[in-house]
């Protein structure tokens, strides 16, 4: 079974803090994605990566950056967390643009 | 117009009923289509891909109508365990990302 793991299920941070969300997949997938999910807005793509050290902006990259130093790991960074970044963050990976396998999500609260 | 639009529901149906959801997409160049299922407080999981010729998996049937730019999901003989949010997903040709709809919530009631 494909496994995508995320570093935390729940996270509480303060405004202005730097936040790291880690995602690891064990199936040697080239593509990895970071989404946030908010009520009424659905899943929105923040960044994705189709290879090590490669990254592409998604639909809402502002306030975020990413890092992919190894194929299995894709990190999302909030340089200076703000309250409007309170959300559920979902990481996904996949071989192509067909099936994406999601991690369990990190519910981030910024106070 | 949103790239992908779904009726948010909720659709409340009795066990054993047949229910259908539609999803419209705005880009006529869209190439691949999928339905994902997301249970409450869980991550989305692929339910089925949608092919031009339509496809069926047990009680689930997915269809694509390119002329009218929508995809549909039909669930026959609904079970309580079918209660979930169903997400429509569209990939546009030449792009390496997909777009998710906001989901349609289904509640099957005994």
Count other Cβ atoms within 10 Å, centred on residue B8. Answer: 15
Question: Mind listing the pLDDT tens digit for each residue in B41-62?
Answer: 999 999 999 988 889 999 999 9
Report A:31-90 residues touching B (Cβ under 8 A). 31, 33, 35, 40-45, 48, 50, 56, 58, 90
What is the C-alpha to C-alpha distance for residues A111 and A85, in angstroms, rounded to an integer?
A: 10
pLDDT in tens, chain A (111 residues): 769 999 999 999 999 999 999 999 999 999 999 999 999 888 999 999 999 989 999 999 999 999 999 999 999 999 999 999 999 999 999 876 668 899 999 999 999
Contact criterion met (CB < 8 Å) for A98 and B32? yes
List CB contacts (< 8 A) between B44 and chain A: 43, 90, 100, 102
Mutation choice for B interface testing from A29, A43, A46 by most B CBs within 10 A: A43
The overall average pLDDT reported for chain B is 92
Helix (H, G, I), strand (E, B), or coil: what is residue A15?
coil
> A105, A2, A94, A108: which is closest to A49 by C-alpha?
A94
Contact criterion met (CB < 8 Å) for B96 and A90? no
Instruction: Enter the DSSP assignment of A37.
Output: E
Asked if residue B38 has pLDDT above 80, the reply is: yes
What is the C-alpha to C-alpha distance for residues B6 and B105, in angstroms, rounded to an integer?
A: 10
Burial class (CB in 10 A: 0-12, 13-18, 19+), A36: buried
What is the C-alpha to C-alpha distance for residues B83 and B109, in angstroms, rounded to an integer?
A: 9
Per-residue exposure over A3-29, b if at least 16 CB sit within 10 Å of its own CB, e if not: ebebebeebebeeeeebebbbbbeeeb
How much is the average pLDDT of B21-32?
89
What is the C-alpha to C-alpha distance for residues A64 and A80, in angstroms, rounded to an integer?
A: 9
- Side-chain-facing half-sphere of A66: CA atoms under 13 Å: 27
- For residue B90, what are its two tokens? 């569209």
pLDDT for B79 equals: 98
What is the C-alpha to C-alpha distance for residues A36 and A107, in angstroms, rounded to an integer?
A: 10
Helix (H, G, I), strand (E, B), or coil: what is residue A12?
strand
Count other Cβ atoms within 10 Å, centred on residue A110. Answer: 19
């Amino acid at each position: 079974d494909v496994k995508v793991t995320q570093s935390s299920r729940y996270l509480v941070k303060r405004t202005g803090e730097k936040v790291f969300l880690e995602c690891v997949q064990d199936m040697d997938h080239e593509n990895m994605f970071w989404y946030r999910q908010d009520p009424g807005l659905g899943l929105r793509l923040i960044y994705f990566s189709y290879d090590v050290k490669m990254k592409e902006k998604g639909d809402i990259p502002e306030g975020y950056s990413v890092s992919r130093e190894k194929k299995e790991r894709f990190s999302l960074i909030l340089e200076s967390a703000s309250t409007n970044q309170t959300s559920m963050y979902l990481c996904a990976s996949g071989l192509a643009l067909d099936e994406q396998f999601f991690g369990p999500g990190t519910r981030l609260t910024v106070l | 117009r949103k790239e992908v639009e779904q009726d948010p529901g909720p659709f409340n149906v009795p066990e054993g009923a047949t229910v259908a959801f539609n999803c419209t997409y705005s880009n006529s160049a869209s190439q691949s289509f999928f339905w994902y299922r997301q249970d409450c407080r869980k991550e989305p999981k692929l339910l089925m891909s949608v092919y031009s010729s339509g496809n069926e998996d047990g009680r689930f049937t997915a269809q694509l109508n390119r002329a009218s730019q929508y995809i549909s999901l039909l669930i026959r003989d609904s079970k309580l365990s079918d209660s979930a949010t169903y997400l429509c997903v569209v990939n546009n040709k030449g792009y390496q990302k997909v777009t998710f709809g906001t989901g349609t919530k289904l509640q099957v009631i005994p």
